[in-house]
A = this chain, B = another copy of it.
Amino acid sequence: MADIPARTELKVTTGPIRGSRKVHVGPLNVAMRAIDLEPSSGEPPLNVYDTSGPYSDPNARIDIMAGLPQLRRDWIMGRGDVEAYDGREVRPEDNGQLGPDRSGGVPQFPNVVRRPLRAKAGANVSQMHYARRGIITPEMEYVATRENLGREMLREYVRDGESFGAAIPDYVTPEFVRDEVARGRAIIPNNINHPETEPMAIGRNFLVKINANIGNSAVASNVATEVDKLVWAIRWGADTVMDLSTGRNIHDTREWIIRNSPVPIGTVPIYQALEKVGGIAEDLTWEIFRDTLIEQAEQGVDYFTIHAGVRLPYVPLTAKRVTGIVSRGGSIMAKWCLAHHKESFLYERFDEITEIMKAYDIAYSLGDGLRPGSIADANDEAQFAELYTLGELTKRAWEQDVQVMIEGPGHVPMHKIKENMDKQLEACGEAPFYTLGPLTTDIAPGYDHITSGIGAAMIGWYGTAMLCYVTPKEHLGLPDRDDVKVGVVTYKLAAHAADLAKGHPAAKLRDDALSRARFEFRWRDQFNLSLDPETAEQYHDQTLPAEGAKTAHFCSMCGPKFCSMKITQEVRDFAAKQNAPVETFVAAEEAEAGMAGMSGIFKENGGEIYLSRK
């Protein structure tokens, strides 16, 4: 048995986010972050959406060897439609042939659940199933409170935005959540074997969410850093995390991550299935894939990326592309289809997969295996052929009340982004869209968090429900801790820009609070209200380190004399002193009138002015 590393080795990032207090709202104790403002502001604390889980709660006892408390356990058991059973035994191939003792590999999680839950025979435990039967679950109530974020402060709020046909409510009720889930316009990804999650919704009429990818790799990483990558990613705002681990230790790494994750975890099961057949795509079988689904379902994976839309007839459509097939799952299935010259078993067995999903309440993330990998390949026949097949599969999944979201591109120039959103809404009956970027140009490797952040903000505005982050290392290497943070914050700001543009009632509160702080030189409030308080303060201090500068009524950009905000305040004071309200000023019209005549006069003596030496 491999040694359990000392706890110090398994240390993860804890403690409050700078300037924030953890608060728990409502009967379900929905976790939020309260940002207290300086007394001089005369403003109440601002509550912001909080994905960081217990890790940012000073009162929580964190022990990743034990895993997080099971917030949803009672809710799940209380519905009386699940049964515990003897789980599938872990096999050597689950961890890359490490052997039963896992020697040399990642230690087994000390607290593994031996008897996972599944739906009783004939039952369906998906949130969509409950929703369609008119049942409002605690998960839905939790989501409603969580999404409502400060909307009660908005009594006289005037809706301002363009939502392109979304139906964002002024106030989110549990019934609204139920209705959105029932009609498939939103999903609540919550495997019954992952009771540690704080429920969240992914849907066009809720706040735009972001996903961060983590995972070990054939080349690097270990379990401690993987768990901390999760904790680190949610600390900065990741709403869900995908574990894209490959190679050895996949099973055990995933166990550590799920048991310590307050956010939904997604995976791409075909990656592990491929490991089980030594990486030979042709050797994949339905049995091995199904066995992998069961294995991950019992661990508690909340959504599966399934590339069931990569069909045999579509493969040749990619042959003339500049970058062919860039989705790993897509290329694996394409190779399998060609090798056997048969239709994809994911497509042919789709309804069987759905049967498994509904027994654990796992949501589909229907993969876009044929997404474009370059500007040149955007919006081509292969991409849209797959999209329409994903639409067909969405309806098939909905027949069994299984939750679905749809994955989207990729690399798309700005003028072709909206077509992706419009076609997805039409083909997939408003099932939530979940896009990777898209990257709006190919020429900036090292800055692809930005090339894609542009596309992400735009497609989020158009209606995408969740944005999969891209880090600065995209196309180049493995993201480190800093890259993950930059990727998450970049996508958080893109998602927020989208919420603002959609006219999301709660979104503008934070911008306005920060702008008031900026205008009044409340530097600490400005830092604390920002998405990354530490970086904001650090940048400020690089130029003006003195503590005094944090209360100074100017900043380093202009210095004391030139500060335009200071001058504006003087303008206001001045106007006040000589009590000169709006009315007393020359009316715009009058001013205009006088001008025409003047310009003539100026021209007369103007001729020589540039000759003047005075």
Contact = CB atoms under 8 A, between A and B. Distances in A.
Nearest to A554: B218
A489 to B, nearest CB: 6
A423 interface: no
Interface string A82-111: 000000100000000000000000000000
A571 B331 contact: yes
A113 to B, nearest CB: 17
Contact of A539 (B355, B473, B510, B529): B473
A445 B526 contact: yes
A610 B118 contact: yes
Given A162-B415, A220-B543, A445-B526, A319 B536 contact: no
B443 A348 contact: no
Contact of A567 (B119, B335, B561, B586): B335
Given A335-B570, A349-B602, A585 B536 contact: no
Interface size classification for chain A: 35 or more
Contact of A585 (B312, B396, B496, B614): B312
Given A501-B415, A559-B247, A519 B610 contact: no
B585 A313 contact: yes
A149 interface: no
A607 interface: yes
Given A334-B567, A500-B414, A558 B588 contact: no
B544 A313 contact: no
Interface stretch (A15-23, A223-231, A475-483): A475-483
A315 interface: yes
Given A518-B442, A531-B443, A564 B331 contact: yes
29 contacts: A161-B415, A217-B557, A217-B558, A218-B562, A290-B609, A294-B610, A313-B586, A313-B591, A318-B568, A328-B567, A330-B564, A331-B564, A332-B564, A335-B567, A335-B574, A347-B595, A348-B595, A348-B602, A349-B602, A415-B501, A441-B496, A442-B518, A443-B514, A443-B530, A445-B527, A449-B450, A473-B542, A476-B536, A477-B539
A440 interface: yes
Contacts of A475: 518, 526, 555, 557
A319 B610 contact: no
Interface in A566-614: 567-572, 574-575, 580-582, 585-588, 590-591, 594-595, 598-599, 602-603, 606-614
A464 interface: no
A516 interface: yes
A174 interface: no
A375 interface: yes
Contacts of A323: 515, 518-519, 565, 568
Interface in A441-500: 441-447, 449-451, 453-454, 457-458, 461, 472-473, 475-478, 480, 489-490, 492-494, 496-498, 500
Interface in A370-415: 373-376, 385, 396, 411, 413-415
A152 interface: no
A121 interface: yes
B414 A440 contact: no
Contact of A319 (B493, B540, B575): B575
A519 B322 contact: yes
A9 interface: no
A440 B502 CA distance: 12
A371 to B, nearest CB: 11
A543 B477 contact: yes
Interface of A is mostly: helix
Nearest to A576: B319
A74 interface: no
A246 interface: yes
A324 interface: yes
Contact of A447 (B443, B490, B588, B610): B490
A613 B472 CA distance: 43
A219 interface: yes
Contacts of A360: 610
A599 B541 CA distance: 63
Given A343-B591, A591-B312, A602-B349, A446 B609 contact: no
Contact of A602 (B341, B352, B454, B588): B352
A443 B575 contact: no
B325 A568 contact: yes
A281 interface: yes
A316 B575 contact: yes
A81 interface: no
B414 A457 contact: yes
Given A316-B582, A324-B571, A373-B519, 20 more contacts: A218-B558, A246-B562, A247-B559, A297-B610, A316-B581, A317-B582, A322-B519, A328-B558, A335-B574, A338-B580, A355-B606, A359-B610, A374-B511, A414-B457, A415-B501, A441-B500, A454-B494, A473-B539, A475-B557, A477-B541
A314 interface: yes
A10 interface: no
Those 6 A-B pairs whose CB atoms lie nearest each other, nearest first: A218-B559, A477-B543, A324-B568, A374-B515, A414-B501, A331-B567
